[in-house]
Amino acid sequence: MANGRTTVGRIVRPLPPQRRRDAVATLQGEYTQWLDALPEPLRDSATGEALQAVVDLDLDELLAIEPPHGFGRD
């Protein structure tokens, strides 16, 4: 607000269900590739454990969430 103007946030609309599923699958696939490329000695490191936790997530519950009516879809 250095210039005296108020910053207005950008409205972010939720992705359509298929695009959301595709995005989640892509991200989880990228984490899987990253974990697979990690050298064996680093698998037990904090990074390796964090990557494994993301890869092991069951994202079906996340994908089943439908935003409430009026949440950027109207």
- Report pLDDT for 64: 81
The closest of 7, 70, 59 to 32, measured between CA atoms, is: 59
Asked whether 6 and 63 are in contact (CB, 8 A), the reply is no
Which pair of structure tokens corresponds to residue 7? 């910053």
Residues of the chain by 3-state class (helix, strand, coil), percent to 5: 55, 0, 45
- DSSP-assigned states of every residue in 32-57: HHHHHHS-GGGTTSHHHHHHHHHHH-
10-residue mean pLDDT series, the chain (74 residues): 65 76 89 94 93 89 76 56
